[in-house]
């Protein structure tokens, strides 16, 4: 499962080469070079000690070529790995073939320095053979990197489109109630009506915006503005308790509008059906490997929150967005017991 991180940059803005400065990629290159050395050794009709000797020499050669090429590509990463695919291929080819040529000539010099006779035909064959093998292997590897990059880019673009489509369906259901509330407040309390209009405008600015990710601080501000509007409508029937750990990182990013729809469901399905109202508890808990977000509300028997169609649709929407954002770690957990309904999800670190 491909995950979408907290990044609103345009997809595909980077080149298709991996970051050769990362240790993991360096190890993979070394393993690939060793596999190539083994194949080249086995391709020759030798056995016994001579096979191991050839394997040792070929391994030294391929490892030096691979590691030197990786070091150069790491150093010139930004210049080589730009948006121009043809330029990236040409520069990468030039670097790797140049390194291969350099080490081929160095190998011949080392052989001669050991007073070993090398015929001109062998020397020319040795250099050309190395360059041809290098060109073929480099072409296959670059092709693999390019296909992988295209697959990743297309997958991320599809996931981003799905997130935007799902997010577009998150629209506050309280719009008409809020407008009616504002209309009534205009006559009785113009100041509160003005405050409600400002809160509603801010909420829709976020809801209709193009940002896929918000910080926890921004998400809480949106939720607070929503609750401020609902407080005008529900009055003393609505009580809100915030339980936020002091060491929570408020700049942690999460998919936009995850908390507010859960709070909206808690009010619509848990508080409104109760004549006496109730308390909604919003918790942000700091766990060792994640931040847990939890919304709890009274469970009304008159509005069966467990099976309500609108509730299921909203929760399924959020569940899909969590899955797209965090992969297997993105799960929406629901606990309904006695007279309490709790919905929670985790933001992995």
Residue 151 pLDDT exceeds 80 = yes
Q: In angstroms, rounded to a whole number, what is the distance separating the alpha carbons of residues 138 and 29? A: 12
Q: Which residues contact 277 (CB under 8 A, 6 or more apart)?
A: 234, 236, 237, 238, 239, 271
Write down the pLDDT at residue 102: 93
Instruction: Extract long-range pairs of 326-334: CB within 8 Å, 24+ residues apart.
Output: 326/3, 327/1, 327/2, 327/3, 328/1, 329/290, 330/3
Write down the pLDDT at residue 333: 92
* Overall average pLDDT of the 39-45 stretch: 83
Write down the pLDDT at residue 319: 86
Write down the pLDDT at residue 77: 82
Residue 345 pLDDT exceeds 50 = yes
The per-residue pLDDT for range 162-203, each reduced to its tens digit, is 656 655 554 545 566 677 778 877 888 888 888 888 877 877
Write down the pLDDT at residue 286: 93
Write down the pLDDT at residue 341: 92
* Overall average pLDDT of the 20-26 stretch: 89
Q: In angstroms, rounded to a whole number, what is the distance separating the alpha carbons of residues 95 and 107? A: 18
Backbone angles phi, psi at 83, to 5 degrees: -80, -20
65 is written with which tokens? Answer: 């070529």
Least confidently predicted of 75-84, 152-161, 172-181, 295-304? 172-181
DSSP character for 10?
A: P
* Overall average pLDDT of the 14-21 stretch: 83
The per-residue pLDDT for range 81-130, each reduced to its tens digit, is 776 788 888 899 999 999 999 999 988 888 777 766 666 777 788 889 99
More confident residue, 209 or 145: 145
**HSE (CB half, 13 Å, CA atoms) of 246?**
0
349 near 294, Cβ under 8 Å? no
* Overall average pLDDT of the 12-39 stretch: 85
Write down the pLDDT at residue 68: 94
267 near 237, Cβ under 8 Å? no
The per-residue pLDDT for range 266-275, each reduced to its tens digit, is 998 889 888 8
Q: In angstroms, rounded to a whole number, what is the distance separating the alpha carbons of residues 17 and 142? A: 8
Average pLDDT, the chain: 81
Residue 159 pLDDT exceeds 60 = yes
Q: How far is CA 348 from CA 2, 56, 155, 325, 331, in A?
A: 15, 45, 21, 10, 11
More confident residue, 122 or 137: 137
Most confident of 114-118, 313-317, 337-341: 337-341
Look at the alpha carbons of 46, 51, 53, 57 in this order and tell me if their dihedral is positive or negative: positive
**HSE (CB half, 13 Å, CA atoms) of 128?**
6
Helix/strand/coil percentages in the chain, nearest 5: 60, 15, 25
Res. 152 pLDDT band, cuts 50 70 90: confident
Closest CA to 263 of 297, 313, 236: 297
Q: Is 255 helix (H, G, I), strand (E, B) or coil?
A: strand
Least confidently predicted of 180-194, 221-235, 321-335? 180-194
Res. 241 pLDDT band, cuts 50 70 90: very high
Helix axes 85-113, 49-75, angle to 10 degrees: 140
Write down the pLDDT at residue 10: 41
Backbone angles phi, psi at 106, to 5 degrees: -65, -35
pTM of the complete model: 0.56
Q: In angstroms, rounded to a whole number, what is the distance separating the alpha carbons of residues 282 and 265? A: 13
């Amino acid at each position: 499962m491909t995950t979408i991180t907290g990044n609103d940059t345009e997809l595909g803005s980077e080149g298709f080469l991996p970051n050769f400065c990362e240790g993991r990629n360096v190890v993979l290159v070394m393993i690939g070079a060793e596999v190539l050395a083994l194949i080249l050794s086995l391709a020759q009709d030798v056995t016994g000690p001579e096979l191991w000797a050839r394997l040792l020499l070929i391994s030294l050669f391929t490892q030096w070529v691979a590691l030197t090429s990786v070091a150069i590509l790491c150093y010139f990463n930004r210049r080589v790995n730009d948006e121009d695919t043809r330029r990236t291929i040409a520069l990468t080819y030039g670097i790797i073939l140049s390194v291969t040529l350099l080490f081929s000539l160095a190998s011949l010099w080392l052989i001669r320095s050991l007073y070993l006779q090398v015929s001109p035909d062998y020397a020319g064959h040795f250099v050309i053979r190395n360059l041809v093998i290098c060109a073929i292997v480099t072409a296959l590897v670059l092709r693999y990197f390019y296909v992988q990059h295209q697959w990743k880019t297309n997958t991320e673009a599809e996931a981003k489109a799905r997130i935007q489509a799902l997010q577009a369906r998150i629209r506050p259901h309280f719009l008409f109630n809020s407008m009616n509330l504002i209309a009534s407040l205009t006559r009785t309390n113009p100041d509160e009506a003005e405050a409600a209009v400002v809160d509603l405008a801010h909420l829709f600015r976020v809801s209709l915006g193009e940002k896929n990710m918000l910080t926890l601080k921004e998400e809480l501000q949106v939720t607070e503005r929503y609750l401020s509007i609902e407080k005008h409508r529900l009055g003393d029937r609505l009580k809100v308790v915030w339980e936020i750990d002091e060491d929570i990182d408020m700049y942690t990013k999460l998919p936009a509008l995850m908390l507010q729809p859960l709070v909206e469901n808690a009010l619509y399905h848990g508080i409104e059906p109760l004549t006496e109202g109730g308390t909604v508890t919003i918790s942000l808990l700091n766990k060792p490997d994640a931040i847990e977000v939890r919304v709890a509300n009274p469970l009304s028997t008159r509005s069966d929150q467990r099976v309500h169609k609108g509730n299921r649709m909203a929760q399924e929407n959020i569940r899909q967005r969590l899955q797209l954002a965090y992969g297997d770690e993105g799960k929406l957990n629901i606990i309904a017991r006695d007279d309490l309904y709790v919905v929670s999800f985790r933001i992995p670190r």
